[in-house]
Structure formats: C-alpha cells, structure tokens
Amino acid sequence: MPSSFTHPAVPIALAVAAGRGRVAWPLLAAGIVASVLPDVDFLGQWLGIPFDSDFGHRGVTHSVCFAVLVGAIAALSATRLRAAPWLAFWFVFVACASHGLLDMLTHGGLAVAYWWPFSGERHFFPWQPLASMPASVHRFLHGAGAAALRAEARWVWLPCLALAFIVRLGRRRA
C-alpha cells in the first residue's frame, strides 16, 4: 500500500484545485481522514479476521461502496464541515475512493476488492509503479521505505499537485 503520507495527496490536490477559501478546513480534514480510513481494516487481524477475506485487508473498506457510505456520512455532517451537502459528499467520496485506486498501483500485498459487494474479485492496475510500504519501522526508515516514498512523490504527489495547479490556473483565467 502507499504510505499514510501519500493517500492525503488526493484531497489536498482537490482543495488546491478548488482555490483558496472554497474548501473549508473541516472539509479538508474530513477528506484527509477519509483518504486513510480504508486501512482501518488492518485492525481485523487482531479480531481474527483472515487477511484475505472480504472483511480483511483491502476488502470492503477499500470498495466504492464503502466510499459512498463515508461520503453520505459527510453529507449528513455538512454543517459541521462548513460545506454544502453535495460538496461534502463528493469531496469525501473522492478522497475515500482514491485510496483503493492508489493501492491498485502497488506491486505487492493483496489486490483490492474495489467493486465489492458487486464482485468479490480483487484488482491491481496493469501498471504498478508503487511498492507496498514495509510494515516494519526499521525497513520503513532505511532503504525500502525511502525508495517507496520517492516513488510515491514521483507517481502520486507530483502528478496530483501539478494537475491541481493547472486546474487552478485555468479557473483563474476563465
């Protein structure tokens, strides 16, 4: 999986693209939380849930269905997020749904049950430029983790922020 540092690239880029003041801080915070929330499924290991079950890692919580649920909760919380319900839904939905898509860019670990419950099949993209993040702190800080972070910067952060600034510049000129 990409690191918890990289999943927030999508909601941050969306906020940058929207322009200053268009995405309130509470909505941005909700988007950032939603972008990493799918990895809550990792706790299932401690509850005895098999790693490769639908309710295990990269299962239900990595699906579009889960992202719709999280987006709906955001829409119901729109007042607290200082956003219109439709904006809260879409912003948080995209942030959460992007998690599974980014995980499909990794080469390692389990594939993603993105279309659960409509399909139990797990998916990776044919092109997988990102390494799965090492689980150990030592490997994260030395070698494998550093290389994975460099790949994430190149293949996720740079394109997300470049596209965000292009959209923002286009919006200013329009």
**CB-count burial class (<10 Å; 0-12, 13-18, 19+) for 143:** exposed
The CA-atom distances, in angstroms, between 148 and each of 4, 57, 124, 143 are 12, 20, 17, 9
DSSP helix/strand/coil, 106: strand
What pLDDT score does 138 carry?
Answer: 61
Helix, strand, coil fractions of the chain, as percent rounded to 5: 60, 5, 35
pLDDT, average across residues 33-39: 97
Tens digits of residue pLDDT in 5-33: 899 999 999 999 999 899 999 999 999 99
Least confident of 23-37, 45-59, 152-166: 45-59
pLDDT at 143 over 80: no
Which 3 state secondary structure label does DSSP give 112? strand
CA distance 76 to 80: 9
pTM, two decimal places: 0.92
What confidence tens digit (pLDDT) does each residue in 82-132 have?
999 999 999 999 999 999 999 999 988 899 999 999 999 999 999 999 987
Cα separation, 171 vs 92, whole angstroms: 22
**Residue found under tokens 């993603």:** 112
